[in-house]
Each structure stands twice: as C-alpha cells, then as structure tokens.
Structure 1
Amino acid sequence: MPSTHDWINNPLGVVEGMFDASQNNPDSAWEAQAVEFFKDKLKEKDAHTWVPSLNDVPLHYLKPNCLVKFRCMIQDMFDPEFYMGVYETVDSSTKAKVLRCGKYKDVTECGVDFNSRNTVTAERQTFYCVPIPGENPWVKEISSSCQMLCHSYMMEVHSSQARVVPSTSYVPSRQKRSYEEDDDTDDMDTQPQKQREPHTGSHSPTEQHGNGDCKRQETEAPSSQASSASHLDLNFPLPGEKGPSCLVKVYEDWDSFKLNDTLEVYGILSVSPALSALADEKDASSSLLDPTECMETAEEQRVHSPPASLVPRLHVIYATLLPHNNPLLPSATLEDNGAIFSSTMSEMASIRAELLTYFTHVLLGDALAAEYLILHLISNVYARRDVLPLGRFTLNLSACPTVASYTEHLYQIIQQLVPSSYYLGMSLQNMNQMRLVPKKDYVANRLVSGALQLVRNTSLFLDETQLEQGQLDTTGVRNVTALGNLISWQKVDYDFNYHQMEFPCNINVFIASEGRSLLPSDCQVHLQSQVTPEHLEEYLSSIHMRLQAPSQLNKFRVYLSVARLLDYSISDEVTKAVEDDFVDMRKDDPQSISAEDLHRMLVVARLQSLSQGQTSLSRDSWLRAKHIEMLRRSRMEQHKYVNGNEP
C-alpha cells in the first residue's frame, strides 16, 4: 500500500502502479479504483491539510508532479482536447516495447511508437481557473495557517533538467468563426498583472502594502518569472488580484461543472518546461502553415498555451463544488460539520445579539439599520420561480455621511466578516472606464473577464457617495444597466459581440448612498446617525478598536455562514395566519399595503427566523418582521421618501 510520501509526493507512481497491475486483468476498472484510492486517503483525519495548496504556497516551492489542491473559480472553459490515454514506447537499444499510461500527464516518455495499434485516445476538458475573486485576507490567512502541517514538504525544492518530449494531447480541429473582427478587440486587453504570493493582496478601497523586503524575497517567484508574467494577462475578474491561474484538466463528469462555479480541486501539478518549448515550436511553425488549415490563431495559441511556470497545469483526480469558501466551515454538508453547526445553532440568538450591538456602533447608533444589515448579510437566492430570484435582499442604506471616508470604513468592517467581497466606488471615471460585464474575445477564443464575474454569495459594496456631476458615456450607461439587471434579476448578460448570454448569479448587493439610490433595491433604510459630523472620525477610530479578538470575529464569521446555509420552511398553519393578517391589514386602507409589501415582509420574516437559528416561520418572527418593517416605513415617510420620490 502506498505510503503518505508516495500518494502526495508521487501520485503518478500510484496511478502507474495500478495501470501496470491492470495489464494482467483486462476487466480491471483501474481508473475508478485510482480515483477512489485518493478519495479514501483524503477522507482520513487531517489528510487534506497534508496536501500543499496552490493558493498558499508559491509555485516555485512545489515539487513537479506532486499532489496539490486549489481553491478556485472556473473563469473560462476551453475546447475539449484529445490525449494518448495509453501509448507504447520502444527501447532504442533492446527494441523492447512497453505500454505506458498517459492519463494525468502533459508529455510522454521518449521513444513513443506513434504507429502502435495499442495506442488508446481519450478526451479531457480544460477549464481556465483563477483564485476566488474578492476572497478576503482573513480567509487566506486561516487557510494558509493550515499549511504549516506540510511546511517541511513545501521547502523541498527539486531542480531537474527536463527534456522536450512529445505532448500527450492535441486540440481537435474545428472551423474558426469567420466574422469580421471590429475595433472592440482593443477593449479586451486588460491590465497586465504579476503573479505574486496570493495572501499579500487586498480588496479594501485603499491599497495596503507589505512592510518588509525579507518576506517578499522569501515568497515571490524568481524575477525571470515575474518579468514574463508582466507580458501575460492572467484574466482576473477584479483589478489588483494576485495569485496563480491554472489550466485545470478534468477527466470525468466535467458536465457537472459550469462557468463561475467555485471548486476545490485535488490534482497532479504539471509544470514541465517541455510545455513551453512545445508551445514555442508550435507558434513558430504556425506562421508557415496555410491560415485556412491552421487550427488556432497565434493569439489563441498564446492564451491557451501560456508558460507552465506562470500558468501551471493541474490534472484533476478529485474535484468538488464548494457552496461557500469559509475556511472555518471546512466541509460542505451539515452532517460533516455536525459539531460546528450544533455549537453555533445553540448560540445563534446570543451571537446575533452581540453582532447587533456591534453593528449598531458601526452604523452610528442606528439599531434598526443594524437589524437590516444582519438580514442582508445572511440573504441568499435559494430558488428561482420563472425569472424571479427568490431570497434576494439588496439593501440600500441612504443618508450615509460623506465625511471621514465613512463608507470605506463600513466596507472594511463588512470585509472582515464575509469570505468574499468587492468595493466598487461608483465614480464617473469608474463607471465610464471599468469593464463590469465579461466579453468574448473571438480572436483569442477566450472569455475576457469583467468585475461582475463573481462567485455566489460575494458581497458587492456599491458606493454611490462617490458619484459626481458629469455625463455617462456609452460604457457608463451599459455598466449602470448591468448593475440594475444584477440587482433585479440576479443575472449578468455576458457580451458575445453578436448576442448576449444570460448567466444567473447569487450576489449580495449593498448600496451606500446619500439620497435614494439611482439603482433598484429590495429595501431602503434611511440611516439615523447619532454622531455629529465633527466627531465622526474619532468615533470611527474607536469602532476599529472594539473588535480585535480573533475568537469573536470567527464567531461572527461562522454565524453568518451557518445562517445562510440553513433550510427554511413555512407550515400550512402559519401560511394561513399570514394570509389572514394580510387581509386584516388591508381592510381599513387597501392602499396601506401592497402585494410587493407583503412579499418584502415574508422575505424579512424568513431572514429574521434564520438569524435566530430557526428553520421555520413562527408567529413571533412574523410579528417581529411586521414591526421592524413598520418602523422602517414610518422613518421613510418621516424623511419624505414617499413612493420612491425625494422632495
């Protein structure tokens, strides 16, 4: 039985051993057995922490062909490719022939007999994957700390000379599109970005810099790699993102994955220099071919075959969809997280009370706004009825102070509590210049990412206090329209030049504004500050000092994730009581409450129940939802926000 050193340091040896053993048994399902072997190993206690992570360990510290894991988002899907699943080699001196396994490899051994009848061609799918966009520093720090268990393994840097050998794969020939390309291709180029250590990045409104050169020397890739990276667009959705991109090669069930899915991938790392050499040869030879016969353009070759030292290949043995990326809840199911969920569920009410107190301080003494902020942060699109996303709860916090960078401070506090977030200052420059919607580049045959290509449950913070007078151009109008569609329908229409394609999403949108937002929202709360503007900066400084204990932060982080994952139901009895209540409310004044108001109250009641750790609607939760909605509406009328119009 392979040891720990074998299955992590030399997974190909395990696979090839099973392949060789299967030659004596034609009916052996050795491929399925190999996958099950690794799955069983990873289920052992703490075994997943022994596997080095591409998110946390610099690529140049990892041993080629070792087992690694990668927490990522599928940013693009390339065409399937064929590869030699089984091939035969011939020893040049003895002429002996040996069958080899080509699975989980990019290149073959030398001496391949290309005329052998024993060659078996198979198919695999390639995904272009990037680190989860907007993943916050605390997630990376916690995940990185788990890697200390395999620290000694990371430091084993092996240098070896690789020979250029034939690739095991090729992309099937296909007819290229013959559309005339317009000048839109100029917009597709994104800012070149360098590959650096993932956890040094920041998504806060103000850029945070490292505080020492020693750490930089220890973790950055060699300067030659960094120089090459400057000429390679890694296609990250958000500006300023850092970390590795990977070509993830999937061998089975690839139809179960879709664009923008969040994955945790366990696979064999391939960084063979032969890949770069083959790509260079292919690029040089393509210039000599008839353009009508060439399968790929030079630009497509550059994008689809980047240097392996910058964009490694990851051959998937096991991959799973992640419903969340909170490292404090490492497993995907309630059953597997039984102890964590039980502990949190028993304390939901008390944790909620602590969080409500903290948010009341953050929101300048406004307890009602704090209530709605909690409900917003645990909201989730749990189903779709026709085109209507059920469960969305976009919150517009109006009357936000424009002094002391209050909205940026508010974002930084939310950033400490949710796994993924992004701050978008809605300045005229950003609206007119940013690419929010992904766009298909037919020359390079890839999807050029945009800032709205985000994973589920990302907190998108829109800061309308950054608006200034000016004119939106065509791009600006298109961006504002895209934000409106995202909020209303939880979808983004990707730009495929000649048509648009809808991609559903599940993004928590928070809008901070001075007056009523120009964007739609599910709920508007007018902030009632108890702090005078001249004391605001001092007050904000005191807020940051209040919450420093990691244990308290982690408690809030787990609470918000658990509340979002809970199931919810309404009994027939409570449904009948709500209907009767609605009829009673409309008796005296039919205009006092509409069907839209009832829908909002039901959403608030659902979130109110889940925030208390209750999985079904009770009479008390319904009454509480009615009460806070009445307070909110009364406040809106008091500030003359009637029928969505400001005075």
Structure 2
Amino acid sequence: MPCVADWLNNPFSIVQGIFAQNVPNSDWEKKVTEYFKEKLKENNATNWVPSLNDVPVHYLKPNSLVKFRCMVQDMFDPEFYMGVYETVDPNTNARVLHFGKYRDVAECGPQQEIDLNSSQTVTSERQTFYCVPVPGESAWVKEISFLTDQARVSPSTSYTPSRHKRSYEEDEDMDLHPSKQKEQHMGNSQTDFSNLSLLTLRTRRDLFTQTVLSLQLSLLRFFSFCLCAVLDLAHLPPYFIIFSLWQVYESWDSFKVNDVLEVYGILSVDPVLSIVNNEERDSSALDPMECMDTAEEQRVHSPPASLVPRIHVILAQKLHNTLTHYCLPALMKRRVKPVIVSNFMSELSPVRAELLGFLTHALLGDSLAAEYLILHLISTVYARRDVLPLGKFTVNLSGCPRNSIFTEHIYRIIQQLVPASYRLQMTIENMNHSRFIPHKDYAANRLVSGVLQLASNTSLVVDETQLEQGQLDTTGVHNVTALGNLITWQKVDYDFNYHQMEFPCNINVLITSEGRSLLPSDCQVHLQPQIIPPNMEEYMNSLLTAVLPSVLNKFRIYLSLLRLLDYSISDEVTKAVEEDFVEMRKNDPESITADDLHRTLLVARFLSLSAGQTTLSRERWLRAKQLEALRKARLQQQKCVNGNEL
C-alpha cells in the first residue's frame, strides 16, 4: 500500500521544494512534472488519487492532488500569469521569490508586497479548458473506475468540511459581521493575478470586506450559471454532473475539443476567487481600454469556484479506449499487448457465440440481425481518404415495432455493452426544438454545446419509430441535415455564425425504424422476429438479469479489444476478391454495384475481426457474401409483401 505522502495531500510543498532547489534554473517545471509522473507509477499510486467523477467536491481537500475523467467541451483563449514573482518586505526590504504556476492566487506573507517592477518576474502563458463528464458514459464504466480506485474517499481526502451548508441564521450573521469571515479564513495574504491587465493586486484581508450587495450578486450569478450549464449539457447523464476549468501549462496544443482525457492536477476551490471576480466585474474604476472582456464573458469564464472547480494540470493523458484503460491497462503498453491479446483470443470463439446468442434473444430471435449488430458494435473509423471516412458502419434496423418500448430496451442493452451511448428520439418536436449543432456565443466567448457534441466511439441510437407526420421548421431541417452529415461523413459542422467549422468525429450510429429510415445508412437490416413476447418489458428485464456480470464484462472487453486490432488484406486475396466481383457483375450486372462491393468488404472486415482474424481469408469472404445475400433476400421479400420500397 503506497504511503500517503505530501505529494498527494499537499503537492504545493513538493513544488515549493523543487522550485527552491532549482531557481534560478529554468528546468524546475520539467522536474516537477517528472516527479509526479514517477510517483504515479509506484505501486498503483493512481488508485489513491481521488476522482472528481466519484467524490463530491466538498469532500476533497483544497490544494490536494485529484484526477478527473472528462471530455473537453470548449477551449478558452490563452491567458498570461506570473510564473515567477518577487515579494518585498517594506520594513526590512527582504525579498523572496515565489512560483505562480498551479495557482489562482498569489501567496505572500502578511508583511509582504508583490514587486511588480522586479526584474525577477517571469510572465508565462497557460491555456484554459472547459471540461465536462463524458456525455452518455455508461454507469458500469463509473463502477469499474470506482473499483479501480479502491475507495470513494482515498486517504488524501481526509479533509472533511465542518458543515456542508450554513444555516440562514449563520448566513445573516456573516453578512452583518464581515469580520467573522476573516476569522474563518485567516492565513497568508493572497493576491489575485489571474488577469494581469487589471493590475489590481490586493490582499486577502481586503477581499473579504465586501458588502452584502456584492454577496447577493455572487449568488445570482451562481444560480444563473447553474441554469446555463444544465441547459447547455442536456445530453449528459442526470447524475453527479460536475464541470471543471483546467489550467494547462504544457503541450496544450496536443489536446482538442471533444477529446476524452484523464487529468491529474491540483484542485483549487478557493472562495476568494468568486469575490475577486465579482469585485473586478463590478468595479467602476477600471479603465475600459484595459479590460476588453464583456460582463457576460467574465461570468462564463470565471464562474464561482464552488460550482466549477479549477484544476491546475500537472499530467494529462488521452483515453482513446476507456474500457481498456481501466480493465486492461497493460494493453496500453506495446511490449505486452501481443501476450494479452493472445490470451484473450483463446476464449474469443465462445465469447462471440455467447454474445451472438444474447443479442439474438434481444432481437426477438433474429440471428441475422444479431450478426450485423455485432459487426456494427466493433466498427470504427480507422482512416480517412480525403473526405471519406473508412470503417464506419451505420446500420438501419428496420421492421421495429412502432411506438413501442422495443427500441428503448435495445438501447438499454447497448448501454450495458459500450462505454458511452446516447439515445436520440427522432420526433418532430425534438427536431424542431433541440440544438443539435454546437454554436459559438460571441457575447460570452464560449462554445455552446449541442446534442451531437459527443466523444469519439460513442454509440448513437436514433429512434425513428416515434416519428409522426408533421412539418419540420428551419431548425428541424438543419438538425436532420446535421445528423445526415454525421452519418455520411463522420463530421459535425459547428456553427460560428459567420462560418462553419468542421469537427471530425467517430460515432457509431444505429437507426431503428418501422420502414426504411429517412436518414442515410451503410446497411439496412430488416428485423424478422421469431419470438413475440406477451410482455416486452418483462422479457427484456429477464434477459439482462440472466446474464452474469462476469459474462457481461467479457462482452465489453471483446467489443473494445477488437477495435484495437490491425487488419489487412493480402495481395492474393485481393486478386481473388476482384475476380469474384467481376464474375458477380457478369451474372447480375443490374443489382451488383460498386457500393455492394464496398459494403461486402466492410462486412468481411468486421466478420474477420469478430473472429479474431486480422487478415481476410477466403472463408470469411464467402461468409460475408452469404450474409449479404440473406440480408438482401429479406429486404426483397419485404418489398414484395408491402408493395413498396423499404
């Protein structure tokens, strides 16, 4: 068991020690990063770092080391801060160097002042990211990360607030007697320098002598921001929603909007930030030429720390595959990856058979639809050729019961299999009133989220069975167009008012519909139920209950692991496929097209990977042709029955 050391509870003491030993050398920042990187490698030390995903902020010790698994929703403009500054004692002229990195508020002694004209001052730059929990993240992913972390409150969270909320009497007493606030927050004087253009550096003693009006304005902004955050992130899960502002100091250009990351950093929830921001916004003494930010922008970019905590990033890593990150961390190391893969491959065949049986029951006994659903779930965009995304496999499951709970239960099953998913009910009301495309709010200088701002590898289930007759307005037409572009091109055009900006994505889309979907798809599979349960809800619930958790975990690892495998086609097989296609065209030139070849190659690719084969064999090619023939025959049969095109 790792020792609970200062690096976890009081990382500032470590940074201070490294800073003191290496100043004036400029490599002290690199040594800080290396120190924490090595510490987190020792004895699964990452398990002892509390996570904002699992632990409420008020249970975490301020200025302690924390981690957060989240998605980058927005990137603010870079800001300047004092990386190194010097304080001076007016009485003794004693000077002390301090570091400003990883801080929102400058630290100085009670008799010290910051020397703004010091030659030792170093102005640095940092990038601010606005981060949210991964949209649609499945509950079982949270359970895995929680079990990996061993406990909700690790030893670094021994800090316990004396009370979560003040009573009304206490609040009134605090407002009437500001001196009591000072008594509760005694400590070193601190000076805010988050915005150097203001040049209004003051001490903590001055900051807490605010009027009741200022406190009321702070509360109004607090609830206003709460409301805006909820409206902007309606597609997030409704439980334990938390947002954070990251202060990133190195390599921020390697991160981009919609990246899923796990970040380690120093938690800053200092209430002084809220008072500073209120005072700065309300001050009438500021020179308009020195402060170009609008009040709305200041409110959004500097929300109360109690609502949106700051994390000063020390280390951050992208999570390309959340499941393998927590279940199979060794997969991230290339030197052991072949061993892990080979061990799992030995039981791949029975796992696939069990998964096929499970999905067959979920799809009411339709084994062909279950086959295609497996291929859909392991599909991913593996490359792009110009504007064409390669590897996407959008499936339209037609023949679904109309206005029933069937699609809802199919979505519940998919939730149990994939790390992140979202169900979009395609109704006239949703199309006309929902915001699908993120857009830029220039007044607040922020990106307002939309339904289609999802993390990579999210499964999007579009429920078209509830679509009724009606008229799409302008917003509805734009939303349907955006959804079609996501499916066809795997991109979302964010609205920046004066122009559109392309954001590539990798979203698995499954469309459930009664007839043929109005949306484009790569493959239409018409459902042919073999079982008609008298009670659909009871049937689906019993199906989920019957599957052991250990079996579900195998299904999850199976689907995630196969996405990591490389795939290739030998020259010999390529030539055989070309000859076979030419022969097929000779026999049926009207119905066999280039699209059919492309789709059959996709089916063969995912069919091979589903069996653990990383290259196409003649056997898998023939099996892919067989599946496609069965699928087309079913569509043709249904077309004849209905007398119109599906």
Q: When the two structures are superposed, what TM-score results if normalisation uses the length of structure 2?
A: 0.87
After superposition, the Cα gap between the structure-2 partners of 1:394 and 1:148, relative to the gap in structure 1 and judged at 3 Å, is same
- What amino acid sits opposite 2:242 in the alignment? P
Consecutive unaligned residues of structure 2, counting only runs of 5 or more, are: 163-183, 199-218
Is 1:276 equivalent to 2:274 in the alignment?
yes
- 1:204-233 deviations in whole A, cap 9, x for unaligned? xxxxxxxxxxxxxxxxxxx99996864552
After superposition, the Cα gap between the structure-2 partners of 1:45 and 1:435, relative to the gap in structure 1 and judged at 3 Å, is same
Is 1:63 equivalent to 2:82 in the alignment?
no
- Distance in 2, matches of 1:580 and 1:389, equals 26
Q: Percent identity?
A: 63
- What amino acid sits opposite 1:471 in the alignment? Q
- Distance in 1, matches of 2:604 and 2:281, equals 60
Candidates 104, 124, 138, aligned match of 1:106: 104
Q: Which aligned pairs between 1:293-372 and structure 2 lie closer than 5 A? A: 294-326=291-323, 327-330=326-329, 333=332, 335=334, 338=337, 340-372=340-372
After superposition, the Cα gap between the structure-2 partners of 1:267 and 1:321, relative to the gap in structure 1 and judged at 3 Å, is same
Other-structure match for 2:597: 598
Candidates 261, 264, 267, aligned match of 2:265: 267
After superposition, the Cα gap between the structure-2 partners of 1:112 and 1:290, relative to the gap in structure 1 and judged at 3 Å, is closer
- 1:343-397 deviations in whole A, cap 9, x for unaligned? 3222222111100000000000000000000000110000000100000000100
After superposition, the Cα gap between the structure-2 partners of 1:355 and 1:566, relative to the gap in structure 1 and judged at 3 Å, is same
- What amino acid sits opposite 1:244 in the alignment? I
Candidates 157, 160, 166, aligned match of 1:157: 160
Contact 2:135 2:236 in 1 (8 A): no
1:165 CA displacement: 2.8
Candidates 69, 77, 101, aligned match of 1:79: 77
1:583 CA displacement: 1.2
Secondary structure of the 2:479 match is helix
Secondary structure of the 2:264 match is strand
- 1:443-496 deviations in whole A, cap 9, x for unaligned? 000000001000001000100001112111111111111100000000001111
Contact 2:76 2:130 in 1 (8 A): yes
Contact 1:322 1:332 in 2 (8 A): no
1:156 CA displacement: 2.4
Other-structure match for 2:207: none
- What amino acid sits opposite 1:277 in the alignment? I
Secondary structure of the 1:48 match is helix
Contact 1:79 1:171 in 2 (8 A): no
Other-structure match for 1:233: 229
Other-structure match for 2:213: none
Q: Which aligned pairs between 1:122-521 and structure 2 lie closer than 5 A? A: 122-149=124-151, 151-157=154-160, 161=185, 165-170=190-195, 230-231=226-227, 233=229, 235-236=232-233, 238=235, 241=238, 242-285=240-283, 287=284, 289=286, 294-326=291-323, 327-330=326-329, 333=332, 335=334, 338=337, 340-402=340-402, 404-521=404-521
Is 1:40 equivalent to 2:38 in the alignment?
yes
1:73 CA displacement: 0.7
- Distance in 2, matches of 1:341 and 1:133, equals 29
After superposition, the Cα gap between the structure-2 partners of 1:556 and 1:388, relative to the gap in structure 1 and judged at 3 Å, is same
- Distance in 1, matches of 2:87 and 2:330, equals 43
1:271 CA displacement: 1.1
Secondary structure of the 1:494 match is strand
Contact 2:396 2:511 in 1 (8 A): yes
Contact 2:581 2:597 in 1 (8 A): yes
- What amino acid sits opposite 1:351 in the alignment? V
Secondary structure of the 1:123 match is strand
After superposition, the Cα gap between the structure-2 partners of 1:619 and 1:410, relative to the gap in structure 1 and judged at 3 Å, is same
Contact 1:389 1:490 in 2 (8 A): yes
- What amino acid sits opposite 2:582 in the alignment? V
- Distance in 2, matches of 1:71 and 1:30, equals 27
- Distance in 2, matches of 1:52 and 1:225, equals 29
1:429 CA displacement: 1.2
- 1:559-597 deviations in whole A, cap 9, x for unaligned? 110011111111111111111111111122222311110
Secondary structure of the 2:371 match is helix
Consecutive unaligned residues of structure 1, counting only runs of 5 or more, are: 174-222
1:322 CA displacement: 1.0
Other-structure match for 1:120: 122
- Distance in 2, matches of 1:73 and 1:645, equals 44
After superposition, the Cα gap between the structure-2 partners of 1:97 and 1:48, relative to the gap in structure 1 and judged at 3 Å, is same
- Distance in 2, matches of 1:161 and 1:232, equals 30
After superposition, the Cα gap between the structure-2 partners of 1:620 and 1:334, relative to the gap in structure 1 and judged at 3 Å, is farther
Other-structure match for 2:523: 523
Contact 1:246 1:311 in 2 (8 A): yes
Contact 1:165 1:274 in 2 (8 A): no
RMSD after superposition: 2.5
74-83 or 536-545, larger mean C-alpha shift? 536-545
- 1:520-548 deviations in whole A, cap 9, x for unaligned? 0000000000123645455334323322x
349-358 or 324-333, larger mean C-alpha shift? 324-333
After superposition, the Cα gap between the structure-2 partners of 1:255 and 1:586, relative to the gap in structure 1 and judged at 3 Å, is same
Contact 1:437 1:450 in 2 (8 A): yes
Aligned pair count?
592
* Larger gyration radius, structure 1 or structure 2: 2
Q: When the two structures are superposed, what TM-score results if normalisation uses the length of structure 1?
A: 0.87
- 1:271-323 deviations in whole A, cap 9, x for unaligned? 111211110111111x5556565311000000000011111111111111110
- Distance in 2, matches of 1:115 and 1:130, equals 39
